[in-house]
């Protein structure tokens, strides 16, 4: 077998990927990372490096939801990740060997160094960590060994971030996140239950492109994915501001896409890019599908009952109605005559329009009930 | 001379499984199945709002996402006597249906296939011959010689890179691999295609339920996705059309790729119709209820491989032992307890890590030992297809008979690793064929102006009795799943799950009876103990899901007056 040609464009071509498609992918990545367009060539270059960075993916007290989420990745796809972008040397859910041969892959990668570690699932610490053993060793022991020679750790999901639901009161197994055990290695946290595939792949691409980890908040979460409040980017914010709330599942407001705050939506305290990128290649997201957010990227989110409205006004009474944006039909007709009858007529128009607007606001109110006929 | 072999981790499953086997003269003479991870959800559920239990329960497993969510809401609805609107029934069927189909296909290609397909052999395949093979078994369009040539070249450059990643250290070249290079190359191509396909078809979960994994859409009393042909913010004709396309795409891949691959590969492994099934007892709770509450897949029990009798299922006969599991019962280790009377007191008495061997004479797993009428049972696609076959389900009977005919085998071949693997494919086809008609049910309701998705009469906990208890079943991809709940003063008093992989991965109980995995391994040949591919073939045929398997039992021992026990709706 001839040695690999180091010209990646040639390899891409052999795979049937045109230069145009490759650059399109890099453009999508740049968009996801909120980078200006002139970063596209940098991303392209990073991905053209032919030695793929080795990765160890560890699973502890997990449900494998984060792995499944990654399987939904589309730019790059999971096939591209495994074959072209990374060298995923250890991943129990998809690797070929079992038993000691699987552990050999782990040992060899750790010994060689220069790898990224991705952790999914919480680590139990009670009773010396017996609540999660793999190949006869505790998760705690495995994590400490793998962390000892890794370039960086990326945690995926709530469990590896802070302990997730295993950590939820009363935390029977002493479950904690990676940051509670490892302190001398750079850690990036990608919480979510599960995290969005796009954010996982974007973080990897960021690392490959810039050879550094993205800017994070004080919880170690990348700003490009967790920097903004859901409530501030929500497509239903206008309904919140206008006092249009779903009151019962299936009511008229529900069918019209009104705000889910009264049904327990935690958007006001959730920091996650779900409204911007959505899930499953932009198909939908919880609020968009009619159920409130439960802030699954926040620490300890399981302690907040999902149907209880979150407290956000700190003692103030929020306004329940604003003037609606729509202009009553009668006002349009008055406007037609405005040019011909400026001045005094203009005042009358304003007053009439205001009166009509006031009536409409009173009708809509904050209920989801049918509007009365006027 | 007897030798003990340990395989830990068993990979290409969900969760953490350890298998120890005893071998003698190249054959497995005994086996022990152990789950090595515990989280304790029953303690965590206590005191929480039952209406939110589905959300946390769903996180028991992200591979079989949705299954614990739907079972949870069903159990609470059962406890409180809530009937869901017809649309909610259909929505749950659609979500569960596409979950089964996608999950089974992923299992075959991405979890099971590498036990049967030698990737290194694909490097020797002739693309022209591969094209001929592919075209002879299916009219699936991706079958040209150029296509397979490109896949082969991709594989060559991957191998040449020296970085084999997840394919490193596999049992490549093991004599138990029997497929010709062309079949292996075709399988590699389909492995890659299935990766793209699974991502696409599961978008139904996002359309109906916000996202996958873990759709955020279940409600006690119904579902949260609004239906309204005249709203852009609800399911309207656009989303119905999108789902129809995805269901057609799903079915087409099953018909033209998955089933033909199964039928092409099986003849090379016909000896596997002789191993891999040891209990002879199969159980299904049935699911996919229609408007009359008749389940599309019927419930029932087969005993001693007798397809002539289908026994009825009674949830009262479910009980669990902790005799050989790392838990304690206050009444001691010899009793089995029904979920409502169960206890969970974890007590690890296994070897201190790092350890080489489990104490197989004592307690050796985090999984409890569920028994039905004091018998160990197998659950899953094989159980469902056997029960449906024996119940004269027309389409199941037709497909099973066609597959047996193609392989030149009789029904006894079903009781095996090969049979279980084929049953998974058969079930996938049978369900995939229903999806569009279930969607049509929804569309018909909407056309008639029926848009109700939720029955809110008992949404407010103020409307609940002071105490209530309920239970529910669901056919998860891996088998029969049950949740039992006790509610007190509007909060969860006790919660328990007995999960498909709990049944299948069960250790011994008080009577020393092996669980399904353990019994299935006895009698299996093992050519090379250092490359136990035969063990993987059988274990993988069950599609283990270990995060699910670890038992969750309620902590209450008090008697509660039963409010109501209903069927599995």
Ranges of beta strands (E only) in B121-198 are: none
B8 touches chain A (CB under 8 A): yes
Q: Quickly state the pLDDT bin for A23 (edges 50, 70, 90).
A: confident
The answer to whether residues A199 and A69 belong to one domain is yes
Tell me whether residues B353 and A193 touch, CB distance under 8 A: no
Within-domain flag for A319:
no
pLDDT at residue B539, as a whole number: 98
Nearest one of A135, A79, A90, A102 to B170, comparing CA atoms: A102
Tell me whether residues A279 and B206 touch, CB distance under 8 A: yes
pLDDT at residue A15, as a whole number: 58
Within-domain flag for B564:
no
- Interface probe for B, chosen from A77, A94, A132, A249 (most Cβ of B below 10 Å), is A249
Q: How many CB pairs under 8 A join A and B?
A: 318
The answer, yes or no, to whether residue A240 has pLDDT greater than 60, is: yes
Contact status, residue B416 vs residue B275, Cβ threshold 8 Å? yes
Within-domain flag for B568:
no
The answer to whether residues A45 and A89 belong to one domain is no
DSSP B203-229: HHHHHHHS-SSS-S-EETTEES--B-T
3-class DSSP string for chain A? CCCCCCCHHHHHHHCCCCHHHHHHHHHHHHHHCCCCHHHHHHHHHHHCCCCCCEEEEEECECCCHHHHHHHCCECCEHHHHHHHHCEEEECCCCCCCCHHHHHHHHHHHHHHCCCEEEEECEEECHHHHCCEEECCEEHHHHHHHHHCCCCEEEEEHHHHHHCHHHHCCCCCCCEECHHHCCCCCCEEEECCCCCCHHHHHHHHHHHHHHCCCCCECCCCCEHHHHCCEHHHHCCCHHHHHCCCECCCCCCHHHHCCCECHHHCCCHHHCECCHHHHCECCCCECCHHHCCCCCCCCCCCHHHCCCCCCCCCCCCCCCCCCCCCCCCCHHHHHHHHCCCCCCCHHHHHHHHHHHHHHHHHHHHHCCCCCCCCCC
pLDDT at residue B128, as a whole number: 98
Distance of CA A220 to the CA centre of its chain: 14
Total structural domains within chain B: 1
Tell me whether residues A194 and B213 touch, CB distance under 8 A: yes
A59: distance to nearest CA of chain B, Å? 8
Q: CATH code at B329?
A: 1.10.645.10
Rounded distance between C-alpha atoms, residue B307 and residue B182, angstroms: 38
Within-domain flag for B219:
yes
The answer to whether residues A30 and A81 belong to one domain is no
The answer to whether residues A292 and A246 belong to one domain is yes
Tell me whether residues B165 and A86 touch, CB distance under 8 A: yes
The answer to whether residues A71 and A204 belong to one domain is yes
Chain A residues inside the 8 Å CB shell of B453: 249-250
B287: distance to nearest CA of chain A, Å? 24
Tell me whether residues B210 and A285 touch, CB distance under 8 A: yes
Tell me whether residues B348 and A165 touch, CB distance under 8 A: no
The answer to whether residues A83 and A176 belong to one domain is yes
Q: Which two tokens stand for residue A122?
A: 């919480």
The answer to whether residues A108 and A218 belong to one domain is yes
What is chain B's pLDDT, residue by residue, as a tens digit (569 residues)?
789 999 999 999 999 999 999 999 999 999 999 999 999 998 899 999 999 999 999 999 999 999 999 999 999 999 999 999 999 999 999 999 999 999 999 999 999 999 999 999 999 999 999 999 999 999 999 999 999 999 999 999 999 999 999 999 999 999 999 999 999 999 999 999 999 999 999 999 999 999 999 999 999 999 999 999 999 999 999 999 999 999 999 999 999 999 999 999 999 999 999 999 999 999 999 999 999 999 999 999 999 999 999 999 999 999 999 999 999 999 999 999 999 887 888 999 999 999 999 999 999 999 999 999 999 999 999 999 999 999 999 999 999 999 999 999 999 999 999 999 999 999 999 999 999 999 999 999 999 999 999 999 999 999 999 999 999 999 999 999 999 999 999 999 999 999 999 999 999 999 999 999 999 999 999 999 999 999 999 999 999 999 887 744 333 333 333 333 233 32
Residue partners of B476: CB distance under 8 A and separation at least 6:
B64, B67, B71, B499, B500, B548
Within-domain flag for B515:
yes
In the stretch 197-216 of chain B, residues with CB closer than 8 A to chain A read: 198-199, 202-203, 205-214, 216
A285 touches chain B (CB under 8 A): yes
How many Å is the Cα radius of gyration of chain B?
24
Residue partners of B180: CB distance under 8 A and separation at least 6:
B121, B125
The answer to whether residues A269 and A127 belong to one domain is no
Q: Quickly state the pLDDT bin for A207 (edges 50, 70, 90).
A: confident
A239 touches chain B (CB under 8 A): no
Within-domain flag for B554:
no
Nearest one of A288, A303, A39 to B48, comparing CA atoms: A303
A129 touches chain B (CB under 8 A): yes
Q: Quickly state the pLDDT bin for A8 (edges 50, 70, 90).
A: low
Rounded distance between C-alpha atoms, residue B363 and residue B350, angstroms: 7
- Interface probe for B, chosen from A1, A59, A68 (most Cβ of B below 10 Å), is A68
Within-domain flag for A314:
no
Within-domain flag for A323:
no
Rounded distance between C-alpha atoms, residue A148 and residue B476, angstroms: 40
Chain A residues inside the 8 Å CB shell of B49: 305-307
A343: distance to nearest CA of chain B, Å? 41
Total structural domains within chain A: 4
In the stretch 19-58 of chain B, residues with CB closer than 8 A to chain A read: 36-41, 43-44, 48-49, 51-52, 55-56
Within-domain flag for A14:
yes
Q: Quickly state the pLDDT bin for A6 (edges 50, 70, 90).
A: very low
How many Å is the Cα radius of gyration of chain A?
26
Within-domain flag for A373:
no
B188: distance to nearest CA of chain A, Å? 12
The answer to whether residues A258 and A194 belong to one domain is no
- Residue where one domain finishes, among candidates A226, A260, A281: A226
Token look-up 């129809």 returns B244
Per the DSSP assignment, residues forming a β-bridge with B217 are none
A220: distance to nearest CA of chain B, Å? 23
Tell me whether residues B214 and A194 touch, CB distance under 8 A: yes
Count the Cβ atoms, other than its own, within 10 Å of residue B373: 15
Name which of A89, A286, A302 is nearest B165 (Cβ-Cβ). Answer: A89
Rounded distance between C-alpha atoms, residue B175 and residue B376, angstroms: 34
- Interface probe for A, chosen from B6, B37, B142, B521 (most Cβ of A below 10 Å), is B37
Within-domain flag for B560:
no
The answer to whether residues A60 and A132 belong to one domain is yes
Chain A residues inside the 8 Å CB shell of B364: none
Tell me whether residues B11 and A97 touch, CB distance under 8 A: yes
What ranges in A273-318 are assigned the alpha helix state H?
Answer: 274-277
Q: Which residues of B does the annotation mark as catalytic?
A: 14, 61, 64, 68, 478, 501, 545, 548
Mean pLDDT of A296-324: 78
In Å, how far are A230, A260, A277, B138, B413 from A268, measured between CA atoms?
6, 11, 18, 53, 58
Tell me whether residues A97 and B168 touch, CB distance under 8 A: yes
In Å, how far are A96, B276, B532 from B170, measured between CA atoms?
5, 22, 11
Tell me whether residues B166 and A96 touch, CB distance under 8 A: yes
A107 touches chain B (CB under 8 A): no
- Interface probe for B, chosen from A250, A264, A272, A293 (most Cβ of B below 10 Å), is A250
The answer to whether residues A211 and A128 belong to one domain is yes
Per the DSSP assignment, residues forming a β-bridge with B484 are B471, B496
Chain A residues inside the 8 Å CB shell of B43: 170, 172
ipTM of the complex: 0.95
Contact status, residue B149 vs residue B127, Cβ threshold 8 Å? yes
Distance of CA B115 to the CA centre of its chain: 19
Nearest one of A196, A212, A200 to A276, comparing CA atoms: A196
Residue partners of A315: CB distance under 8 A and separation at least 6:
none
Rounded distance between C-alpha atoms, residue A119 and residue A178, angstroms: 8
pLDDT at residue B314, as a whole number: 96
Within-domain flag for B569:
no
Burial of B35 (0-12, 13-18, 19+ CB in 10 A): buried
Name which of A2, A62, A284 is nearest B207 (Cβ-Cβ). Answer: A284
Comparing A152 with A373, the larger pLDDT belongs to A152
Count the Cβ atoms, other than its own, within 10 Å of residue A327: 12
DSSP type of residue B340: G
B303: distance to nearest CA of chain A, Å? 33
A68 touches chain B (CB under 8 A): yes
Tell me whether residues A289 and B209 touch, CB distance under 8 A: yes
Chain A residues inside the 8 Å CB shell of B225: 289-291
A340: distance to nearest CA of chain B, Å? 39
pLDDT at residue A320, as a whole number: 59
Share of chain A above pLDDT 90, in %: 66
Within-domain flag for B278:
yes
B150 touches chain A (CB under 8 A): yes
The answer to whether residues A336 and A359 belong to one domain is yes
Rounded distance between C-alpha atoms, residue B77 and residue B223, angstroms: 12
Q: Which domain holds residue B363?
A: 3-549
Tell me whether residues A4 and B150 touch, CB distance under 8 A: no
- Residue where one domain finishes, among candidates A202, A226, A250: A226
Q: CATH code at A255?
A: 4.10.480.10
Rounded distance between C-alpha atoms, residue B486 and residue B470, angstroms: 7
Chain A residues inside the 8 Å CB shell of B199: 71-74, 77-78, 280-281
Comparing B377 with A3, the larger pLDDT belongs to B377
B360 touches chain A (CB under 8 A): no
Q: Which domain holds residue A340?
A: 329-364
Q: Could you give the 3-state DSSP secondary structure of residue A216?
A: strand
């Amino acid at each position: 077998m001839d040695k690999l040609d180091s010209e990646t464009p040639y390899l891409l071509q052999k795979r049937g990927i045109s230069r145009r498609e490759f650059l399109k992918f890099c453009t999508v990545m740049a968009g996801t990372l909120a980078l200006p367009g002139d970063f596209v060539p940098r991303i392209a270059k990073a991905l053209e490096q032919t030695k793929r960075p080795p990765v160890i993916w560890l699973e502890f007290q997990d449900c494998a939801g984060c792995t499944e989420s990654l399987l939904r990745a589309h730019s790059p796809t999971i096939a591209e990740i495994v074959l072209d972008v990374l060298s995923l040397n250890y991943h129990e859910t998809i690797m070929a060997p079992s038993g000691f041969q699987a552990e050999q892959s782990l040992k060899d990668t750790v010994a060689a160094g220069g790898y990224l570690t991705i952790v999914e699932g919480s680590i139990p610490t009670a009773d010396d960590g017996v609540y999660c053993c793999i190949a006869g060793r505790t998760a705690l022991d495995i994590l400490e060994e793998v962390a000892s020679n890794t370039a960086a750790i990326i945690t995926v999901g709530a469990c590896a971030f802070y302990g997730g639901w295993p950590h939820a009161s009363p935390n029977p197994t002493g479950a904690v996140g990676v940051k509670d055990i490892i302190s001398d290695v750079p850690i990036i946290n990608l919480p979510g239950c599960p995290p969005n595939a796009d954010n996982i792949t974007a973080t990897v691409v960021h690392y490959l492109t810039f050879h550094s980890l993205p800017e994070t908040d004080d919880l170690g979460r990348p700003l490009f994915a967790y920097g903004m409040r859901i409530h501030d980017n929500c497509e239903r914010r206008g309904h919140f501001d206008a006092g249009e709330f779903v009151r019962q599942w299936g009511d008229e407001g529900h069918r019209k896409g009104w705000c889910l705050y009264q049904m327990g939506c935690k958007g006001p305290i959730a920091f996650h890019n779900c409204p911007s990128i959505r899930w499953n290649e932009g198909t939908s997201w919880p609020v968009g599908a009619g159920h409130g957010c439960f802030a699954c990227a926040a620490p300890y989110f399981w302690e907040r009952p999902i149907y209880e409205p979150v407290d956000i006004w700190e003692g103030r009474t929020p306004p329940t109605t604003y003037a609606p944006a729509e202009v009553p039909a009668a006002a349009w007709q008055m406007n037609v005559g405005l040019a011909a009858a400026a001045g005094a007529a203009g005042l009358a128009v304003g007053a009439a329009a205001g009166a009509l607007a006031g009536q409409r606001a009173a009708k809509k109110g904050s209920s989801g009930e049918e509007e009365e006929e006027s | 001379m007897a030798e003990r072999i340990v395989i830990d981790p068993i990979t290409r499953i969900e969760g953490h499984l350890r298998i120890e086997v005893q071998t003698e003269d190249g054959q497995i003479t005994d086996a022990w199945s152990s789950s090595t991870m515990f989280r304790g959800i029953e303690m965590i559920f206590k005191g929480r709002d039952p209406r939110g239990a589905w959300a946390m329960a769903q996180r028991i497993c992200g591979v079989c996402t949705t299954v614990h969510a739907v079972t949870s809401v069903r159990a609470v609805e059962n406890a409180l006597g809530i009937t869901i609107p017809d649309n909610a029934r259909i929505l749950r069927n659609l979500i569960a249906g596409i979950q089964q189909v996608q999950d089974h296909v992923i299992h075959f290609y991405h979890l099971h296939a590498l036990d049967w397909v030698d990737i290194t052999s694909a490097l020797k395949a002739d693309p022209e011959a591969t094209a001929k093979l592919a075209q002879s078994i299916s009219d699936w369009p991706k079958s040209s010689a150029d296509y397979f040539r490109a896949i082969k070249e991709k594989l060559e450059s991957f191998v040449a890179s020296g970085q084999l990643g997840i394919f490193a250290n596999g049992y490549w070249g093991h004599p138990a691999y029997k497929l010709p290079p062309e079949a292996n190359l075709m399988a590699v191509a389909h492995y890659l295609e299935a990766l793209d396909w699974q991502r696409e078809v599961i978008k139904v979960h996002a359309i109906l339920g916000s996202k996958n994994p873990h759709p955020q859409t279940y409600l006690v009393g119904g579902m949260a996705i609004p239906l309204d042909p005249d709203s852009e913010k609800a399911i309207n004709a656009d989303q119905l059309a999108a789902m129809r396309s995805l269901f057609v795409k799903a079915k087409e891949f099953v018909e033209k790729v998955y089933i033909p691959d199964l039928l092409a590969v099986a003849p090379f492994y016909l000896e596997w119709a002789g191993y891999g099934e040891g209990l002879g007892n199969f159980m299904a709770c049935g699911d996919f209820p229609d408007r009359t509450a008749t389940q599309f897949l019927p419930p029932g029990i087969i005993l001693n491989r007798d397809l002539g009798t289908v026994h009825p299922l009674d949830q009262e006969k479910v009980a669990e032992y902790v005799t050989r599991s790392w838990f304690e019962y206050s009444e001691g280790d010899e009793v089995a307890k029904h979920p409502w009377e169960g206890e969970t007191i974890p007590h690890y008495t296994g070897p201190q890590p790092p350890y080489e061997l489990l104490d197989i004479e004592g307690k050796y797993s985090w999984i409890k030992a569920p028994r039905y009428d004091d018998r160990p049972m197998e659950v899953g696609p094989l159980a469902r297809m056997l029960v449906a076959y024996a119940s004269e389900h027309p389409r199941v009977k037709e497909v099973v008979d066609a597959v047996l005919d193609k392989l030149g085998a009789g029904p006894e071949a079903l009781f095996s690793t090969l049979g279980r693997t084929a049953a998974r494919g058969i079930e996938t086809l049978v369900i995939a064929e229903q999806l569009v008609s279930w969607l049509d049910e929804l569309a018909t309701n909407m056309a008639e102006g029926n848009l109700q998705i939720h029955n809110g009469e008992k949404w407010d906990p103020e409307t609940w009795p002071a105490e209530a208890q309920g239970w529910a079943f669901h056919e998860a991809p891996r088998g029969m799943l049950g949740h039992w709940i006790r509610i007190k003063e509007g909060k969860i008093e006790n919660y328990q799950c007995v999960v498909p992989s709990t049944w299948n991965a069960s250790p011994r109980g008080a009577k020393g009876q092996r669980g399904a995995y353990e019994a299935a391994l006895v009698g299996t040949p093992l050519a090379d103990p250092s490359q136990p591919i035969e063990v993987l073939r059988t274990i993988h045929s069950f599609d283990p899901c270990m995060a699910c398997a670890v038992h969750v039992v309620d902590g209450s021992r008090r008697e509660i007056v039963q409010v109501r026990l209903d069927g599995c709706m």
